[in-house]
Amino acid sequence: MTVAPKGSSHRVPGLVLVDHWFDVPLDHARPDGETLRLSAREVRAPGREAAERPWLVFLQGGPGFAAPRPFDAGGWIGRALRDYRVLLLDQRGTGRSTPVCAATVTLRGSPARQAEYLSHFRADAIVRDCELVRRRLLPEGERWTVLGQSYGGFCTAHYLSSAPEGLAAALFTGGLPPIGADCETVYRHTYPRVLERNRRYYARYPGDVERVGRVAARLRRGDVRLPCGDVLSPRRLQLLGLLLGFSDGMEQVHYLFEEAFLPDGDELGYAFLRGYETLLHYDTNPIFSLLHEACYTEGVASRWAAQRLRDEHPALDPDGDGPLHFTGEMIYPWFFEEIGALRPLAGAAGLLAEKSDWPALYDAERLLRNEVPAVAVVYDDDMYVDRDLSLRAAAGIGNLRVWTTNAWEHNGLRADGERLLGRLLDLLAGRA
C-alpha cells in the first residue's frame, strides 16, 4: 500500500481534525494492480495526551455514504473522545475517497467492465481497506476498536468474521446484519414494517391522506419536473418513505407536504420540488442503489428482490385505491430509468442484480467462536434492520452482549449519541 503524506489539520470547537490519505488496491486479490485513494479524518480532543489514546474507527451506514463531518465536540464523537481518538473513514467510493458516480464509472467502458469494477465496493473490500490503514497508523501488533452504524455494523460483522486479529473490541448500533438470510427473507420482514410506519404516519397526520393524495393525483397527470430535470412520478414520490424510520422522519415528510401547492392553484411549488430533492440522495450516492441488495447476497443473484416482493403488498401500488403508501429502504430497477444521475449505470446495475458468484461475507463457525469483546444495541422497532433477524444473528456471534431497547429509532446514534454510546461503552467495560 502506498501512503500519501499526512494532510492538513484544523480545529472546530472542541476538536482537532487531521487529514490522512492512503492508496489501497481496487482488488485486494491483486495488490499490485489498480489503486484507489482513501480519505480518513482523525478526530482528537485538544491536548497532547489525546495522541496517546487508543483508536476507534467509525464505519458509516449506507452503503455508499461518507463519514460524518463534525462541527463540534457534541454527540457520540464527544463521548468517544473521552476514551479514544476517532478515525472517520470515507469508505471506498464515498466522500473524498476515489468517488463512484456515473462520470467516473462510465469511463470503464462496457456495462460488464463497469459491473466488475463496482463489485469491489462491498463490505469485504472495506474491511480489507481498514486492515491496511490500521497497520499503517498503529504500532505493530496494536488493535483498534470499531464502531459500526447500520451498514457499518454489517462491515463490523464481516470484520469479526475475516480479520478479528485487528480488533480490540466491536460496537454495533442498529447494525447486526441478517446473517444467513437472503434478500427475499430480508424484504419479507421489512415490507410489513414499512406498511406499519405508513399507518402510524397517517394516524399522526390524518390530514396528509388528502394532501399526499392530491400531490399524487397531480403527478399522474404528468409533466411535473424536479429542479434537476427528472420527472417526478407517483412511484418516485413514494420513495419519501425512506425517512419514516428516523426519529424526525415523519415530521420532515409532513412539513414538506404542508406547503406542496402554490396558493389558489393546482401546481406544485418550487420549494416542494426542491425540498423533495434535498431529502433524498439516490442521485448523489449511487453505491446505495447499485449495491444495496448485494449487502445481503452470498453466492446467489439478488435479481431485484425488492421489486419481486413488492407485488405481494398491493397497498404499495402507486395507482391503487386508498391512501398513497410510501416505500422504504428498497431499491427498484426503474431507479435507473427515472433518476437521471443513475441512468448511465443501468446496464451495470442489471448485471450486478444477476451476479451469482458474490463471495461469502460471514464465516458462521468463526463468528460463533469469536473472542473479540463485542456489544450491540438492537432497536425493537427498527424499520431498516429487522429486530428478529438481528437477534437471530446475535445468537451466532460469540462474546457478544446485546442490548435491546425501544428508546430510539434507527438513527439513535445521531439523535442521542452521547447517551447511547456511553451505555454501550459501559456494557463493554462491564459497568452495566
Which residues are annotated as catalytic? 150, 357, 410
User: For residue 321, how far is the Cα from the chain centroid?
Assistant: 33
Its sign, for the CA torsion 416, 417, 419, 424, is positive
Given a contact cutoff of 8 angstroms between Cβ atoms, the answer to whether 156 and 375 are in contact is no
Q: Is the peptide bond before 63 cis (omega within 30 degrees of 0)?
A: yes
Burial 225-245 (b: 16+ CB within 10 A, else e): ebeeebebbbbbbbbbbbbbb
Could you give the angle at the alpha carbon of 62 between the alpha carbons of 355 and 294, nearest 5°? 10
What whole-number distance in Å separates Cα of residue 2 and Cα of residue 35?
A: 9
Are the beta carbons of 284 and 277 closer than 8 angstroms? Answer: no
> Are 383 and 244 a contacting pair, CB within 8 Å?
yes
- Distance CA(239)–CA(229), nearest Å, equals 17
Beta carbons of 37 and 5 less than 8 angstroms apart: no
Are 238 and 325 in contact, with CB atoms under 8 Å apart?
yes
Closest CA to 365 of 64, 161, 201, 227: 161
Q: How far is CA 222 from CA 225, 244, 336, in A?
A: 9, 26, 19
Buried b (16+ CB within 10 A) or exposed e, 34-61: ebbbbbbbbbbbeeeebeebebbbbbbb
Quote the DSSP letter at residue 307.
H
Measured between its terminal Cα atoms, the distance across the chain in Å is 41
**C-alpha grid cell, residue 108:** 470503464
For 114, phi then psi, to 5°, come to -65, -45
Q: Return d(Cα 209, Cα 253) in angstroms, integer.
A: 12
